[in-house]
Amino acid sequence: MSLPANVEDRIQRVTGSTVQQVASLAGGCIGDVRRIDLTDGRTFVAKLGGAGSGLALEGFMLRYLAEHSPLPVPAVVDADDDLLVMDYLPSGGRLDAAAQIHAADHVAALHEITGPSFGFACNTVIGGLTQPNPQAQSWVEFFRDQRLMYMAGEALRVGRLPGSIMSRVEKLAARLGDWIGEPAAPSLVHGDLWTGNVLCDSGRITGFVDPAIYHADPEIELAFSTLFGTFGDPFFARYRDHRPLAPGFFEERRDLYNLYPLLVHVRLFGGSYVSSVEQTLGKFGC
C-alpha cells in the first residue's frame, strides 16, 4: 500500500524521516486511516481526509486533552482537514476487568476537570457530525437544545427520523426536568466513549482516541460507555471509588442520556437505531 506523493512528502517534512511501510487500520467515520512505519523506527497513524472532514478539529481536541487533562491520548504531529498525523499507540488487547479498572481511573480523573459552563469554547464533532457547544449555565437546557433537539432535527432533515418520532422527542424534551437535574459542576468529557475509541494492551489502557469533547454532566459519558457494552461492572465499581453515582442512573438516566448517541446513529445510518429511539421514548411515556 502506498500514500499519495504529496501526503508522503508532508509526512516526511513533519516527522523528519522517510516512509518505509504503510498499512490500513480500522477507523471511525472520519478519514482513511493508515499505520505509517518510518525508516528511523518510529510509527505514526495518519488519517487522510478533505475539506470539511473534521480532522483539524479532531487534532485540536486531542491537543486540548493532552494540555488540559490527564487523559492519555496520542500526541498530534500535524493536523488539518486533509491530514492528521499522530503517534501510534499499542492496541489489540481486550477490555477485560483489569483494563476497565485502569480506564475508570483515567475517566474519573478526566471528570474532575471542570469548566465555568456547559458546552465549550467552540463547536466540536462526533462521528464527523457537527456538535454545537454554545456555552450555557443550565445542563437541562443544554442537553435539551444542543443534544436531543439538535441531533433529532438533523436526523429529521436528512430523512432518517420520521416526523411522528420527532414529535415524541419534542414531548420528552419538554419534560426532561422530571428526570434529570443540574450537576454540581460542568465536567470535561471525552464525548465518544465506545470500545473502538479505547485502546488497551495487556490489561492496561494505552490511550483514548476520536474525542468529541465538551463540558457536561459526566453521567452522559458514563451512559454512552454502556450503550455498546464498552464498560461494565469492573469499570463502575472502580469509578465509584473516585466519584459517587447518584441513585437512579442505571434505572432511568442512563437510557435518557443514551438517546443522544442513538440519535447520532440515526442521523448517520438510520435503520434499527430508529427502533431503539422509539423504545426509549416509550419507556419514558412519550
Sign of CA dihedral 139, 142, 145, 149: negative
Domain ranges of the chain: 5-87, 97-283
Domain 5-87 has CATH 3.30.200.20: yes
What is the reported pLDDT for 26? 75
Taking the CB of residue 172, how many other CB atoms lie within 10 A of it? 22
Class of domain 97-283: alpha beta
The CA-CA-CA angle for residues 210, 59, 206, to 5°, reads 50
What is the reported pLDDT for 53? 87
Q: Tell me the mean pLDDT per 10 residues along the chain, length 286.
A: 86 93 76 90 93 92 98 97 94 93 98 98 94 98 98 98 98 97 96 95 95 98 96 98 96 97 97 96 96
What is the reported pLDDT for 29? 57
**How far is Cα 125 from Cα 69, in angstroms, rounded to an integer?**
19
What is the reported pLDDT for 3? 86
What is the reported pLDDT for 52? 84
**Which pTM does this prediction carry?**
0.95
Q: Which residues are catalytic?
A: 192
